[in-house]
Structure 1
Amino acid sequence: MNTRKAEPNDAFVLSDIAYKSKAYWGYSDEFLEACKEELTITEEDIIKSPMYYVIEKDNQIIGFDSFKCDPNKLENLFINPEFIGQGIGKQIWQDILHRAKDFGIIEFTIDSDPYAEGFYLKMGAVRIGSIPSTVFPDRDLPLMKVEVK
């Protein structure tokens, strides 16, 4: 597997992975449709942020992450559902921590999907509260914190 910076022309594939990954958890079509804009990665998003990375297997993008600074926050971590449960998430996580160290980041937060909370806890994150969803303000999401060691 190979990790590289995302390129603007990866935007459609990243959006497709984000949508399929969210759908993997059994959300309704109405829920997914409401989240579609939030799950869409644009070429401009990738151009504006140097912190989009993809992981490839056999020259196929199978997952990606993005990071936002000020405040330090993991914005995206999505894996093509065909590859969930194969250690890809752990590899992406290790890459995220390595890059965070390189950028001098000592901690960051995650507005986690409830279904992803277990993964983040397993990776060493701690839940520090909750935060309203940007799509559904009445829905609270786990707010996680990670200390980079």
Structure 2
Amino acid sequence: METNPVYNLVIEDKIIGYYSFFHESENTIKLDNLFVLPDFIGKGFGKILMNDFLNKLKNIDGQKVILNSEPNAETFYAKFGFVKIGQIETSIKDRYLPIMELNF
């Protein structure tokens, strides 16, 4: 977040969500953060952030987006066409993050 742009969603002067991304390789964009404050989850704000991100991809060179999903957010990303391609283990025993991909 210190080296890449961060796009904030602000309501009444309060940041309620944000996302950031970077080029992981020539053809791959990594969505490294997409976050909505817990009180605002389920109210369409994640969709606003994701649609803004996907809109930005139209002006960016690349062929696919990858991300490491919070397990509870896997369904959210699937609604936008992301598919699970693997998983990575976290520092918490028996907890895994889905690795998801979207080709564009």
TM above 0.5: yes
Pick one of 75, 92, 105 that aligns with 2:62.
105
Identity %: 39
CA RMSD of aligned residues (A): 1.7
Say yes or no: does 1:144 pair with 2:100.
Answer: yes
Q: Give TM-score, length-normalised by structure 1.
A: 0.61
Instruction: Looking at secondary structure, tell me which structure has more strand per residue.
Output: 2
5+ long unaligned stretches in structure 1 = 1-44
Say if 1:112 and 1:141, in contact at 8 Å, map to a contact too.
yes
5+ long unaligned stretches in structure 2 = none
Q: Give TM-score, length-normalised by structure 2.
A: 0.84
Stretch moving more, 98-107 or 113-122: 98-107
Alignment coverage as a number of residue pairs: 101
Say yes or no: does 1:94 pair with 2:48.
Answer: no
CA distance in 2, matches of 1:132, 1:105: 27
| Aligned equivalent of 1:125 | 82
SS of aligned partner of 2:58: helix
| Aligned equivalent of 1:57 | 11
Pick one of 62, 66, 80 that aligns with 2:37.
80
Moved over 4 A (4+): none
Instruction: Looking at secondary structure, tell me which structure has more helix per residue.
Output: 1
CA distance in 1, matches of 2:21, 2:59: 13
Offset of residue 64 of structure 1:
0.4
SS of aligned partner of 1:117: helix
Between Structure 1 and Structure 2, whose CA radius of gyration is higher? Answer: 1
